[in-house]
Structure 1
Amino acid sequence: MQNANIKCGLTEKLLGVYEDTTEVQAYVWYENNYVHDEYQHAHQRYQLTYVEQGYQYLHVDNCIYLVPQYHVAWIPSGQQHATTSTAKDINLKVLLYRDVPKDEFYERVHIFPAPTVLREMLQYASKWNRMVGNEEEKEQFLQAILVSLKSFCDENQSLQLPVPVDHRLVPVCAYINEHFTSNLDLDELALRSTMSVRNLQRLFKQETGITLQKYLQVFRILKSIELLDTGELTLSEIAYKIGYKSLVAFRNSYFDIMKVYPKVKK
């Protein structure tokens, strides 16, 4: 029989299946360079993850969400998910809640930048790291974070890369992912999808909610964040490496997705 593992205060009885053995309403779990499960898993607690350093990709259903530094991810209870990252260093603060207010907001995945006040609250909450007992100030403070989340949420829908279900679009995405440094070759993509260019564009927008050009843009920016994290290249080098012809074009495209201009990690 497989031995149970304790992860974020939860007991993993089977691979990807967690049992909540604590009665406390909420607690904090913080580890430097914590490696989250890269396989699909779920637990019966609502999860707020703050990326203090590095970045993560969150895989949920047919979407891959980017969770960059200083952003938070909200994951509903029971939601199957997995995370991956190639960041050199990644520090996460995780808050886990047993119960939440009756509001549709808490039953959906959210990715958004943490405003300064939330970042300060999460930093203060780290003093209760791994304390799973009942403590009045902790309970009240973590509950204050929970009920404020909806007000803090300023979601950026561009941080998600949709994964189409239609089998004809799978080779299209695979080709773009492999040749993202080149401009879109619509004729080549249509050939791989066994559709006309017009039908391909229509179906792709219908399946993913974005255009082929937007998909390429998002994919390039995701790659640029990986390169920025290494701190080994200049902005100009990154721009050309991911397919942009100029630094200005890259900076504008990055701002369009991230709402801030890119900076090289120091």
Structure 2
Amino acid sequence: MSDNLFVDKYYITEVDSFEDSIYCHHAMMGENYISEHSHKKGQFLYTEGGIVFLRTDEKSYFLPARHYIWIPGGVRHSIHPSSPEVVMRNLYFPRFDTDTAFFDRVNIYPVNDFLIEFIMFTNRWTGNIFPSEEPKFSIAKSFKLILPEISNTELPLALPYPKHEKLKDIVSFLEQRIDENVSFKKLAQEFDLSERTLARLFQRELNMSFIQYYTILRMLTALKLLLDDKLSVNEVAMRVGYSSLPTFSNTFNKIIGVRPSEYVKNRNLLF
């Protein structure tokens, strides 16, 4: 892909050029950070090849594998991929008379196999799709119309994106050793911080405690392993540092809202 891919900042200069068009863009991120911006059109964003954080004025969202995020028009946001090689698949939609309240909220939803096929079908589209371009426009419009029908389960998780350089290193350390169940004491020692200083750092920079952050991180990793790697619940529990399957299941249920076995069963009904 061209190094100049994002020089024109298509998401600022082109997305809203035509009020009634659907805008399509598939490409590598090409950079480590897409600065805060907004557009009149609503955005469907699906990514491949890495983790993506998305920040709005209200929350920071963590977009795991096999999930998409819907961003309503007018919502200011920035995008932080884990690497410039992360592939973004974007569809930007104008408002339609058929739009429901579903499209007024920023939310993350699981992607089933049908939607993945549809996403890959859109890979042949680039730039604006106008209402006069039939049947292409109707097919693209149907993509939006179907989202509320197949997105019944939102992912009730938002995880802060650290700005503090020390905290970035700490979070990276936790991510790389997710199977070790790193203790707070060990983490403080590893980074030569007092436990009080480390606790304050999490609370001040992320507005949550270490335990809250680490638990959500482990559950998000568990989601990826369950959905993307298709591991068993027992294998996933071990991979995210839980030696006790009941403890993992109870924690998953508390955070996600269903037990991991139910989550897999529900996803299998969709996939």
Please tell me the TM-score bracket, short chain as reference: 0.5 to 0.7
Q: Check conservation: 2:159, 2:216, Cα contact below 8 A.
A: yes
Q: Check conservation: 2:30, 2:84, Cα contact below 8 A.
A: no
Aligned residues with identical type, % of pairs: 23
Q: 1 or 2 for the larger relative contact order (CA 8 Å, sep ≥6)?
A: 2
Give the residue type in structure 1 aligned to 2:57: D
Report the counterpart of residue 127 of structure 1 in structure 2.
Answer: 124
Q: How far has the Cα of 1:109 moved from its partner?
A: 0.4
Q: How far has the Cα of 1:49 moved from its partner?
A: 0.6
How far apart are the structure 1 equivalents of 2:184 and 2:250? Answer: 14
How far apart are the structure 1 equivalents of 2:242 and 2:94? Answer: 49
Q: How far has the Cα of 1:60 moved from its partner?
A: 1.7
Q: Check conservation: 2:37, 2:78, Cα contact below 8 A.
A: yes
Q: Check conservation: 2:15, 2:23, Cα contact below 8 A.
A: no
How far apart are the structure 1 equivalents of 2:135 and 2:251? Answer: 41
The yes-or-no answer on 1:47 pairing with 2:43 is yes
Give the residue type in structure 1 aligned to 2:118: M
* Matched ranges for 1:116-265 at <5 A: 116-133=113-130, 134-161=132-159, 181-183=182-184, 213-221=211-219, 244=241, 246=243, 252=249, 257=256, 259=263
Q: How far has the Cα of 1:249 moved from its partner?
A: 8.0
Q: How far has the Cα of 1:158 moved from its partner?
A: 3.8
Q: 2:104 aligns with which of 102, 107, 113?
A: 107
What TM-score do the two structures reach when normalised by structure 1? 0.62
What TM-score do the two structures reach when normalised by structure 2? 0.61
Say what the alpha-carbon RMSD is for the aligned residues. Answer: 4.6
Cα gap change, 1:84/1:253 in structure 2, threshold over 3 Å: closer, same or farther?
farther
Report the counterpart of residue 70 of structure 1 in structure 2.
Answer: 66
How far apart are the structure 1 equivalents of 2:51 and 2:247? Answer: 20
Alignment: residue pair count: 221
Q: Check conservation: 1:217, 1:253, Cα contact below 8 A.
A: no
Residues 55-74 of structure 1: CA deviation (Å, up to 9, x unaligned): 21111223221112221110
Cα gap change, 1:125/1:35 in structure 2, threshold over 3 Å: closer, same or farther?
same
Unaligned runs of 5+ residues in structure 2 are: 1-5, 162-166, 175-180, 186-194, 230-235, 265-271
